[in-house]
Amino acid sequence: MDYEMLLLRFGEITVKGKNRSRFEKAALSHVKSLLRAFPGTEAIHEYGRIYVRLNGQAADPVISSLKNIFGLTSISPVKVSPSKLEDIVEIAVDFVKSIPADKYKTFKVHGRRVFKGFPHSSQEMNHLVGGPVLSACPHLKVDVHHPDLELRVEVRERVTYLFCEVIPAAGGFPLGTNGKAMMLLSGGIDSPVAGYSAMRRGLEIECVHFHSYPYTSKKAEEKVLELAQVLSGFSGRIKVHLVPFTDIQTSLAKTGQDNLIITLMRRSMLRIATKLAEKNGGLALVTGDSLGQVASQTLASMNVIGKVTDLPLLRPLVMMDKEDIISMAKRIGTYDISILPYEDCCTLFVPKSPATNPNLRIVEHVEKELADLDHMIEAAVENTESVIVKPHVIIRKNQKDEPEVVQEQWF
């Protein structure tokens, strides 16, 4: 099917009142950036909508790219007609005739007269267009309640749009319209879903990943960068901060507080993420915590862990079931990467009996005994490597040789 244009609809941002234009401009900017891959296409913004002139480009690949833009709720490929009845009828008939006869058995016309100067009402348009379509396509029957095919005819002053498909898009708020946050990205199933959810609410995210060379392999890091690459498909690019965490982990392990090691580790991670947020303009931290899923995600543990930061802690998955999280991971394309077996620093060491109700006073006392902890946190921030990840490329300043993995020496 050859279409002339795409019609892009906004969702939640239409209730933003005086701020609405800012949100629409952000979505338009994202649309234009993705259209660079399709030479000749052109984005046109009207209040409440974006139109994309295809100018000969096939509609399907453009739609596949644009439907991941946050802030858009749906996309329709449209045929365009002059706003004259005879032209509208002719194009409507050709449009429906071009659809394979075995695909639909029933249809209806849904006319909408946006331009009130058009001489026929919306109700009249249903009959004036539907009659010729029925005559030209005798295999179709009219069903106004549950039609297989609904031909929408939207009459505007200069042109009329005809379309049958309404393809769901990502929804939410345009990227970055609600600020920037640092997201703790592991190689697991949850954190990429949390990142997607955060971006869908209009946050620009930068990812923070903690590695423990030589106890973790380069494969674990590559897995995380692959996950970030999937997420970059929704944002265009993502910065990933790779934090060396080995010294801190080994120091925490030497305290002899095995049951508190996860709590201590998570608190250090949040301290580092907070410092990176301050350096990079982040106003919140995003984690993949889901209430009750593991020891560090009980309410008591999240309370003790979260005490170390003054930034808002955003937990998009906190009330979601694991099955729902897995379903979303499959839908956004991160699940198959997340289940690869390469261990990260969070999974390498899990005590037999991790504390599910840690005592804040005891945890703070253990940390005070570590005289070098603040220095090690500063060093970890200082030695962090930042990588730019785009859908088809990963840009990093230094590519180090992979060290020998010595997991058998881990604690």
In the DSSP assignment, the letter for residue 285 is: E
Angle between helices 246-253 and 373-382 (to 10 degrees): 160
Residues counted in the chain? 411
The full DSSP string for 223-271 is: HHHHHHHHHHHHHS-EEEEEEE-HHHHHHHHTTS-GGGHHHHHHHHHHH
Q: Please give the single-letter amino acid code of residue 18.
A: K
Annotated binding site for ATP: 184-185, 209-210, 266, 288, 297
Q: How far apart are CA 346 and CA 182, in angstroms?
A: 18
- Contact yes or no for 3/79 (Cβ under 8 A): yes
Q: How far apart, in Å, are the Cα atoms of 104 and each of 100, 127, 153, 216?
A: 8, 19, 18, 55
Q: How far apart are CA 356 and CA 345, in angstroms?
A: 20
Residues 6+ positions from 137 with CB-CB distance below 8 Å: 93, 96, 97, 101, 107
Q: How far apart are CA 268 and CA 248, in angstroms?
A: 8
| Phi and psi at residue 108, to the nearest 5° | -150, 160
Q: How far apart are CA 60 and CA 70, in angstroms?
A: 18
Annotated binding site: 184-185, 209-210, 266, 288, 297
